[in-house]
Structure 1
Amino acid sequence: MQLQTESNPALNTVTAYGRDYIEINQVSYEHAVYFGPQGDIRAWEVKTTADITAEQLRLAAGLGAATADPLDFLDAGTAPAKPPDAPEVVLVGTGLKQQFLPQHVTRELIRLGIGVETMSTQAAARTYNILMAEGRRVIAALLPHEENTP
């Protein structure tokens, strides 16, 4: 499906999607990708929603590797600080149908105050374009439909 929107050519925009591809800035990708309004479109090393781990979600959000602090128990009950350049929300496109992620996968981002929304890839692509056009700090992590169907 072709998406028709007014777009800024300097921003990453989902321009089309189909059963086995996602098109960003008129370049077609046949694998899972993650990206924000600016910067590179990166291959996401997942094939199905079952492959999405907390670490994969951190990577897509641009947070880097988690570090275990042996003194974390002292700060129990306090939320960790959200990095200043962190996204407001990560949109996860789960293929043809919406599939929810387990709580242990989304917990860390939620604790940081970063929203995690799962929806079909079609809905995630449209939502990303709207939020990106509004100037929001949004990340899209999208699975093509074919990779997620049994």
Structure 2
Amino acid sequence: MQLQSESNPALNTVTAYGHDYVEINEITYAHAVYFAPEGDIHEWHVSRAADITAGALREVAGLEDSKPDPMAFLDGGAMAEKPPNAPEVVLIGTGLKQHLLPNQVTQPLLSLGIGIEAMSTQAAARTYNILMSEGRRVVVALLPHEEAA
């Protein structure tokens, strides 16, 4: 089944996936990766869904670590603002099966208004391709398979 009538070869597209690999733009990766529609494919130094931290999600979203503002209490607990280059949504492919991420891991991005969805790598790859083809600001991180604990 054809999911899109046109494709843009300049955009990063998941072209295949299997039990122990993902293929982006017809290049095979046997390790975890993250990427957006444009730009480089980055190695993600996470091997299992249980290893995903809030910092790892910040890395995927392209957010720089910022030090807390010591005067923020004067704003009455004002929420942090979403950076203009931040993605709308971060998709996490957790391997062969869906593994939900703990609230303390996802909350920092959710509080900025960045959506996070964890699903199997196959579902994340398909969802990414659809959102990317619609021109959405999406980033995906894919574990090719869930390694044994």
TM-score tier, shorter chain, comes to over 0.9
| 2:74 corresponds to | 74
1:4 is displaced (CA, Å) by: 7.3
1:36 is displaced (CA, Å) by: 0.2
Check conservation: 1:79, 1:111, Cα contact below 8 A: yes
Taking a change above 3 Å as real, the CA distance of residues 75 and 107 of structure 1, as seen in their structure-2 partners, is farther
| Alpha-carbon distance between aligned partners in 2 of 1:142 and 1:76, rounded to the nearest angstrom | 38
Describe the SS at the equivalent of 1:74.
helix
Query: Which stretch shifts more, 57-66 or 116-125?
Result: 57-66
| Alpha-carbon distance between aligned partners in 1 of 2:127 and 2:66, rounded to the nearest angstrom | 28
TM-score (normalised: structure 2): 0.92
Check conservation: 1:90, 1:117, Cα contact below 8 A: yes
| 1:98 corresponds to | 98
| 1:128 corresponds to | 128
Q: Which runs of 5+ in 2 are unaligned?
A: none
- State the aligned residue count: 147
| Equivalent residue runs for 1:1-150 within 5 Å | 6-145=6-145, 147-150=146-149
1:64 is displaced (CA, Å) by: 1.6
| Alpha-carbon distance between aligned partners in 1 of 2:14 and 2:20, rounded to the nearest angstrom | 14
Q: Which amino acid aligns with 2:34?
A: Y
Query: Which stretch shifts more, 70-79 or 131-140?
Result: 70-79
Q: Which amino acid aligns with 1:130?
A: I
Describe the SS at the equivalent of 1:28.
strand
| Alpha-carbon distance between aligned partners in 1 of 2:75 and 2:93, rounded to the nearest angstrom | 34
TM-score (normalised: structure 1): 0.92
Q: Once superposed, what is the RMSD of the aligned Cα atoms?
A: 1.6
Query: Which stretch shifts more, 66-75 or 37-46?
Result: 66-75
Describe the SS at the equivalent of 1:57.
helix
Q: Structure 1: which 4+ aligned runs deviate by more than 6 Å?
A: none
1:79 is displaced (CA, Å) by: 1.6
1:69 is displaced (CA, Å) by: 2.3
1:76 is displaced (CA, Å) by: 4.5
Output one character per residue of 1:63-82: Cα deviation in whole Å (capped at 9) or x when no partner: 02232222233334322111
1:34 is displaced (CA, Å) by: 0.3
Q: Which runs of 5+ in 1 are unaligned?
A: none
| Alpha-carbon distance between aligned partners in 1 of 2:52 and 2:128, rounded to the nearest angstrom | 19
